Structure formats: structure tokens, C-alpha cells
Amino acid sequence: MENCTVNILGTDYEILVQSETENPKLKECDGICEQYSKKIILNDCKYTEDEVMRVDNFEEYKKKVARHEVFHAFFGESGLRSHSDYAENEELIDWLAIQSPKIFKAFKELDLL
């Protein structure tokens, strides 16, 4: 993914791909949703290139991370992020990130989009 902008419920979010050097917060995670500066920051994961145990199909992993952060942004922009039990539930957010392509595929097959 390259740097770009996406509209989340009427608010533009910058999507930035950065290194851990550029953004030290990425030393703790592969993606961040900065709700108050309207940025989704994705780790470029260059540090993993030489890791023997790096997951296969790394591009798909990075897409999953991006979807995860986009879901955080949707919850945040909807006003649910900081005062709900589920909007910050990483298990739920990751489920949405993993299952949403399959859900959208089913919707498309049924002409529901």
C-alpha cells in the first residue's frame, strides 16, 4: 500500500506507510489508527525482510493490518471507540479485518453491494 487518503464516514484519513525510525510508535505494532490526527499509519515492515520466521504471503498480512486500522477508524468516527466494550476489542477488530473480504465477496455474488 502506498500513501493515500480514504474517506471514513465523511472524514478524510491519511494513510501513511512509515518505518519504525520515522515513527517510533511502530516499534510496538504494525499499524496505528490516530483518531485525533486522522491518520492511519502502517509499518513498512522492512525490519522483517531478513527474518526467517516471517509469515508467508506477507503482502496479505499487511492488507489485513490495514483493514484492521480502517475498522478502528470507522468505530472512532462513529463515536463508539472510547465508550464501548467492543470498539477497542482487538479480537473483534481482527475478526472484522480477516472476515470482511469474505463477507464482501458473498455480498458481491448476491448483488447486494
DSSP single-letter state for residue 24: G
Considering the complex, state which of residue 17 and residue 33 has its C-beta at the smaller distance from Zn ion.
33
Q: Report in angstroms how near the CB of residue 64 gets to Zn ion at its nearest.
A: 11
Q: Which of residues 82-111 bind Zn ion (CB under 5 A)?
A: 90, 93
Q: Report in angstroms how near the CB of residue 72 gets to Zn ion at its nearest.
A: 6
Considering the complex, state which of residue 41 and residue 93 has its C-beta at the smaller distance from Zn ion.
93
Helix (H) or strand (E) holding 31: strand 31-34
- CB count in 10 Å sphere of residue 56: 6
Query: In whole angstroms, what is the distance from residue 22 CA to residue 2 CA?
Result: 15
Query: Would you say 33 and 72 are in contact if contact means Cβ atoms under 8 Å apart?
Result: yes
Considering the complex, state which of residue 85 and residue 109 has its C-beta at the smaller distance from Zn ion.
85
Instruction: Kindly list the residues in this chain that would bind Zn ion in the complex (CB under 5 A).
Output: 90, 93
